[in-house]
């Protein structure tokens, strides 16, 4: 086919998009759907950040920026890593991209050949899988269930490594589970990796400011592995800047150069205005981070309690991010009033959307079925109402 390359053909419409479309269709029919599907803070971008962007635009900061990002921003990122993550990278180790997603895309595109393996602890953020597929890598999915806190164990890592392993993908705090790796957890994984020099690590730490326990960066836990570690971060979640498309990678200079070459023929880099905004986000007042984190914590507690009160649903208490990933296997085998048998997580989500008017994402999208993801980056009122609707709908099952 002329309009679909082999690579494009392997890209599937994501479950998250599908559920959003189904929710929108119901809304259009007049149903009052509450959507807890997307991972986007409901807060606004801070005003000082918007003002800095405005000022930069008026001052003529509107030309092509350097492909890897403006030096002042990369400097601020180094300072930010020192302040919040406990390590200070060189400027040459940093590249700025149009969001954390492009950092990950650049990294896999620059390093993965067909057949190279990427170890993916599940549940994982759906885009990791799609990007690996797009780059013709092989996903090696390692299920990490609730019994292990949705975290990869050193033994499971050891068992998954082969001669073809190129990358281990870590995400802490994690989407969709909210799981957080402690410093000791990361050190134990690093101990395994020291035996396997062919394996590099991506640590996606984009939720590091939304944490309810002490956060440890992988590079801080294993500084001796810095020459094969790529840290991914950005302003989307912490500073409520998803639309500005601004993220960064911190890794060894040769990798950053290769990723910059990819980016140079892809987007040419992040918008100059967004870079000015991110510079202000990182160098301006930081008190909003703790305020917003407290608000997320209160919502987490409310949602976890409400879901655990529902017969057939069990919900772990996540350590970070703004998602819960409850188990819904207790509902399998029950029947709807219309006579439909609930057999899997997709059935649960479809039923809750149609009967309860709440949109959730089925766990199979994240590589660990039997669960669903609820994002609590929504207002307290919506979350309270949404959980009550879920409980009502579930209670009507026979
Ligand atoms: N990494 C994780 C784990 C995410 O959940 C998301 C967004 O959902 C991203 C990266 C994307 O970040 P960005 O908006 O900076 O591309």
Residue nearest to ligand 1 atom 12, measured at CA: 100
CA pair distance 324, 387, nearest whole angstrom: 12
How far apart CA 44 and CA 52 sit, in angstroms, is: 15
pTM for this one? 0.97
Verify that 274 and 166 share a domain, yes or no. yes
Give dist(CA 237, CA 40) in Å, integer.
7
Average pLDDT over residues 90-95: 98
HSE at residue 160, side-chain half, CA atoms within 13 A, is 28
Q: Would you say residue 1 lies in a domain? A: no
pLDDT top residue among 77 and 5: 77
Classify residue 56: in a domain, yes or no. Answer: yes
Q: Helices 272-283 and 47-58 meet at what angle, rounded to 10?
A: 140
347 lies in a domain? Answer: yes
Does 325 map to a domain?
Answer: yes
Whether the predicted pLDDT of 13 surpasses 80:
no
Domain count of the chain? 2
In a domain, 103, yes or no: yes
Question: Residue 20 in 3-state DSSP?
Answer: helix
263 and 205 together in one domain = yes
Q: What is the pLDDT of residue 252?
A: 98
Q: Answer yes or no: is 205 within a domain.
A: yes
Same domain? 198 vs 73: yes
CATH code where residue 381 lies: 3.90.1150.10
| Residues 135 and 261 reside in one and the same domain | yes
Q: What angle do CA 301, 179, 332 make, to 5 degrees?
A: 75
pLDDT(136) > 70: yes
Run of H or E including 278: helix 272-283
Q: Which residues have C-beta atoms less than 6 Å from ligand 1? A: 39, 99-101, 125, 171, 175, 204, 206, 234, 236, 242, 247
Cα gap 230→326, rounded to integer Å: 30
What is the Cα–Cα distance from 100 to 84, expressed in whole angstroms? 18
Mutation test residue for ligand 1: of 38, 45, 100, the one with most atoms within 8 Å of CB:
100
Q: Which two structure tokens, joined as six digits, stand for 161?
A: 């490594």
Quote the CA–CA distance of 112 and 134 in Å, as a whole number.
Answer: 10
Domain shared by 262 and 377, yes or no: no
pLDDT given for residue 1 in this prediction: 64
Q: How confident is the model at residue 3 (pLDDT cuts 50, 70, 90)?
A: confident
pLDDT digits (tens, 9 = 90+) for 50-62: 999 999 999 999 9
Q: Residue 271: inside a domain, yes or no?
A: yes
* Per-residue pLDDT tens over the stretch 115-124: 999 999 999 9
Residue 38 confidence (pLDDT)? 81
Mark whether 162 and 257 lie in a shared domain: yes
Single residue among 256, 283, 310 that ends a domain in this structure: 283
What's the CATH number where 209 sits? 3.40.640.10
Residue 202: DSSP 8-state = E
| Distance of alpha carbon 102 from alpha carbon 318, whole angstroms | 26
- The tokens for 176 are 């969709």
Q: In degrees rounded to 5, what are phi and psi of residue 299?
A: -65, -40
List pLDDT tens digits, range 341-392. Answer: 999 999 999 999 999 999 999 999 999 999 999 999 999 999 999 999 999 9
Residues 6+ apart with CB under 8 A from 256: 68, 92, 93, 94, 95, 249
204 and 335 housed in the same domain: no
Whether residue 133 is found in the same domain as residue 265: yes
Q: Do residues 221 and 124 both lie within one domain?
A: yes
**Is 70 contained in some domain?**
yes
Work out the pLDDT band at 10, boundaries 50, 70, 90.
confident
| End residue of a domain, out of 231, 250, 283 | 283
Which of 266, 283, 300 marks a domain boundary?
283
Confidence of residue 41 (pLDDT cuts 50, 70, 90): confident
Residue nearest to atom 5 of ligand 1 (CA): 175
- Cβ neighbours of residue 362 under 8 Å, at least 6 residues apart? 15, 19, 344, 345, 346, 348, 349, 369, 372
Cis peptide before 344 (omega within 30 of 0): no
Chain centre distance of CA 167: 17
Q: Best substitution site from 204, 237, 263 to test ligand 1's pocket, by max atoms within 8 Å of Cβ?
A: 237
CB 314 within 8 A of CB 357: no
Select from 20, 45, 102, 125 the residue to mutate for testing ligand 1; criterion: most ligand atoms less than 8 Å from CB. 125
Beta strands in 61-135 (DSSP E): 94-97, 117-122
As a whole number of angstroms, the distance between CA 6 and CA 284 comes to 46
For residue 221, the enclosing domain spans 47-283
User: Do 274 and 135 fall into the same domain?
Assistant: yes
Report how far Cα 137 is from the mean position of its chain's Cα atoms. Answer: 20
Residues 278 and 367 in one domain: no
Q: Is the pLDDT of residue 244 over 70?
A: yes
The verdict on 342 and 267 lying in the same domain is no
Please, which residues bridge with residue 165 across strands?
117
Closest CA to 370 of 316, 301, 297: 316
- Nearest to 248, CA basis, from 96, 110, 108: 96
């Amino acid at each position: 086919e002329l309009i679909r390359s082999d690579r494009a053909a392997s890209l599937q419409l994501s479950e998250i998009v599908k559920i959003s479309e189904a929710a929108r269709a119901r809304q259009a029919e007049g149903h009052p759907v509450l959507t807890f599907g997307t991972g986007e803070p409901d807060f606004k971008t801070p005003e000082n950040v918007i003002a800095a962007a405005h000022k930069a635009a008026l001052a003529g900061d509107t030309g092509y920026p350097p492909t890897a990002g403006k030096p002042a921003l990369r400097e601020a990122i180094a300072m930010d890593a020192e302040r919040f993550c406990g390590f200070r990278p060189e400027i040459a180790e940093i590249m700025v991209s149009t969001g954390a997603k492009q950092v990950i895309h650049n990294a896999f595109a620059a390093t993965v050949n067909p057949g190279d393996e990427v170890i993916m602890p599940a549940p994982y953020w759906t885009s990791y899988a799609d990007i690996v597929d797009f780059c013709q890598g092989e996903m090696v999915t390692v299920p990490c269930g609730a019994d292990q806190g949705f975290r990869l164990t050193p033994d499971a890592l050891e068992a998954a490594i082969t001669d073809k392993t190129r990358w281990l993908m870590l995400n802490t705090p994690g989407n969709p589970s909210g799981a957080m790796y402690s410093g000791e957890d990361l050190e134990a994984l690093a101990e395994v990796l020291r035996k396997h020099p062919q394996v590099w690590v991506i640590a996606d730490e984009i939720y590091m400011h939304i944490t309810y326990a002490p956060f440890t960066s992988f590079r801080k836990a294993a500084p001796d592995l810095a020459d094969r570690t790529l840290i991914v971060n950005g302003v989307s979640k912490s500073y409520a800047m998803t639309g500005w498309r601004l993220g960064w990678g911190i890794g060894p200079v040769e990798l950053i150069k290769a990723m910059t070459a990819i980016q140079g023929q892809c987007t040419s880099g992040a918008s100059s205005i967004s870079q000015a905004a991110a510079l202000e986000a990182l160098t301006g007042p930081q008190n909003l981070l703790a305020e917003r984190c407290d608000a997320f914590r209160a919502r987490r507690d409310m949602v976890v309690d409400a879901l655990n009160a529902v017969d057939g649903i069990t919900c772990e208490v996540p350590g970070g991010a703004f998602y819960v990933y409850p188990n819904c296997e207790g509902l399998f085998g029950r029947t709807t009033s219309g006579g439909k048998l609930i057999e899997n997580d997709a059935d649960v989500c479809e039923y809750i959307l149609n009967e309860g008017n709440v949109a959730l994402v089925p766990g199979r999208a994240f590589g660990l079925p039997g669960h669903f993801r609820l994002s609590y980056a929504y207002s307290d009122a919506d979350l309270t109402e949404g959980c009550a609707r879920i409980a009502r709908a579930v209670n009507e099952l026979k």
